[in-house]
Structure 1
Amino acid sequence: MNNEKQSQPLKGKVAIVTGVSRENGIGTSTCYRLAQAGADLFFTHYCPYDETDGEGIEEHWPAQLAAQLNEIGVRAAHMEADLRDEDLPKKLLEKAVEEIGVPSILVHNATFSVNTNCKDLTSELLDHHYEINNKGPVLLTQAFANLFEKTFQTEKEGSIVFLVSGGPDPNNLAYIATKGALKAITPPLATGLAPIGINVNAVDPGPTDTGWMDQETKEGLLPLFPKGRLGKADDAAKLIRFLVSPDASWVTGQVIHSDGGFLGR
């Protein structure tokens, strides 16, 4: 077997990764892993969320990341994307095709999360979670699948991965509810898209130290990880790399916990 094909199983493929705004996030680690496997990258980010509700703004990071991916030896481009925009799927895919090429890999990493419990949950907050965590990804999935089917009529090796979540945290109600919906939609989407060659899977990475944890949170979570450490962004990225590779061509419709055996599910 060709050694380059073994070391770069995604060479010649184009991957879209959403929600790549921060250096230490899962989106960034995923871009690195896919680039090392040979994929060209088109990624999105949304600074207004990071500035107000997210983990802090890193406005220059997308350009820095694109340059680093170029140094790895792949092509990379990016755009700001608000998943609440109903025209986004069309605009995003047109931009990806123009800049890099037709994508065959889609990783749904972008998310919206604001602490909510049964007492302070509002209709507006629930709608906001739904628009970004459910409606936006599903409509982008539809547009991606339509483009894939039209373009790749013989080569049928596409892949979609959702980042999902769960657990009993009473202060994360809207986030867990909407991420749970992505878990539920994964098997029927996989069944529907299998005939055109697209695998659909979901990854639940558990609590991951991407910068949002303070020391108290880390100390509280650590005893719930039987492997003795907190989750890292690269833990999820390595699994995503596998799921979108030819080695996972027979894996579809699965919701996979990659959380080090986390006891707080």
Structure 2
Amino acid sequence: MIITGIDGKVALVTGGNHGIGAAIAQALAAQGAKVFITYFRLETDYGASELQAALDAGIGGDRLYRAQQQQSADQVLSEIRIAGGTATAVEMDLSESVVVPDLLDHCEAEMGPVEILINNHAYCAPETFDPANVGTNESGGGITLTSAEGIDQHMAVNVRATVLLMREFTRRHVTRGADWGRIVNISTDAAHAHGNNVSYAASKHAIESYSRSAASELGRYGITVNIVAPGPIQTGYITPAMEREIEAETPLGRVGRPEDIANSVVFLVSEQGGWLTGQLLYVGGGYRMHQ
């Protein structure tokens, strides 16, 4: 049995309106943490009727993923509260660096100082170096040539926002003389190299480096910093054909679920996970075991 020891702790979960972030928020709340969720709904080329049709059909692909991404956090909050948990949410664009202190202020005003930081937010727009790859990917989304704008957006959201949140979390932790803190950053099992997702992969690889550096510096303050790298997780984008391929290549024989990642995060922030820091945990049923 895992002794989490997080009952009453304040947890900030970014990107918590759907998929992995939603599952993490619910799992932490189930252990008694007070959960503050952030989310941001990107503009999409799909119309409202197309998105609703994708939700109704429930068939994996880019359209379903975008439809789920467009959801507010209301459903997640409702499920947490019905189960007896405490949660609130705010929508904000973390690519705007000035919002980071305001976010921590908002969370502290509503729930108290943040003791658990889960950086799950992500921007992912398929990009390639190869002109022959420009077009549509297997999920049905578009692939474009790598561009300055694309690089900047991936780095602003995935890297800069994560680093600034870690910095602000640490600054406040040290100022108030706290001696217990947890940071978990969500990467990807393809961070080392990912064709047709070159900027996304690079941004996640940067997060892994920042996380290890932070772990080496922050242990003296009782803060652990770890990384979870999910394998293929059905957050809407995996088509039936992709699912069959992934199942065949995965030793545990199935596509991952958001709850699989949430369970690992709960362990890392728990008291029993307190002797782990600077670690990269692959959670993918063995999918990239030999990389």
Structure 2-normalised TM-score? 0.83
Within the alignment, does 1:71 sit opposite 2:82 as a pair? yes
Distance (whole Å) between structure 2 residues aligned to residue 234 and residue 74 of structure 1? 17
**Matched AA of 1:214:** T
Query: Which residue among 61, 83, 88 is the counterpart of 2:99?
Result: 88
Within the alignment, does 1:17 sit opposite 2:17 as a pair? no
Q: Which residue of 1 aligns with 2:51?
A: none
Matched ranges for 1:1-265 at <5 A: 9-22=5-18, 25-48=19-42, 55-57=66-68, 61-119=72-130, 120-151=145-176, 153=177, 155-167=178-190, 168-263=193-288, 265=291
Q: How many residues are paired up? A: 257
C-alpha contact 1:159 1:200 (8 A) present in aligned 2: yes
Shift in Å at residue 90 of structure 1? 0.8
Distance (whole Å) between structure 1 residues aligned to residue 38 and residue 102 of structure 2? 12
**Matched AA of 2:81:** N
Structure 1-normalised TM-score? 0.90
Distance (whole Å) between structure 1 residues aligned to residue 44 and residue 89 of structure 2? 16
Distance (whole Å) between structure 2 residues aligned to residue 166 and residue 234 of structure 1? 17
Q: Which moved more, 1:204-213 or 1:57-66?
A: 57-66
Distance (whole Å) between structure 1 residues aligned to residue 82 and residue 107 of structure 2? 20
Structure 1 residue ranges (4+ consecutive) displaced by more than 6 angstroms after TM superposition: 50-53
Flag the 1:146–1:130 CA change in 2: closer, same or farther, 3 A: same
The CA RMSD over aligned residues, in Å, is 2.1
Q: Which residue of 1 aligns with 2:53?
A: none
Shift in Å at residue 50 of structure 1? 6.8
Distance (whole Å) between structure 1 residues aligned to residue 69 and residue 281 of structure 2? 30
Partner of 1:47, secondary structure, is coil
> Unaligned stretches of 5+ in structure 2?
47-61, 131-144
**Matched AA of 1:133:** N
Distance (whole Å) between structure 2 residues aligned to residue 235 and residue 127 of structure 1? 31
Distance (whole Å) between structure 2 residues aligned to residue 49 and residue 197 of structure 1? 39
Distance (whole Å) between structure 2 residues aligned to residue 243 and residue 70 of structure 1? 24
Distance (whole Å) between structure 1 residues aligned to residue 242 and residue 68 of structure 2? 21
Measured against aligned partners, the alpha-carbon deviations of 1:68-108 in whole angstroms (never above 9, x if no partner) come to 22233232111012111111111110110111111100000
Partner of 1:78, secondary structure, is strand
**Matched AA of 1:71:** I
**Matched AA of 1:20:** G
Distance (whole Å) between structure 1 residues aligned to residue 253 and residue 81 of structure 2? 36
Measured against aligned partners, the alpha-carbon deviations of 1:16-54 in whole angstroms (never above 9, x if no partner) come to 0000122xx011110111011110000001012577796
Give identity over the alignment, percent. Answer: 29
Shift in Å at residue 207 of structure 1? 1.2
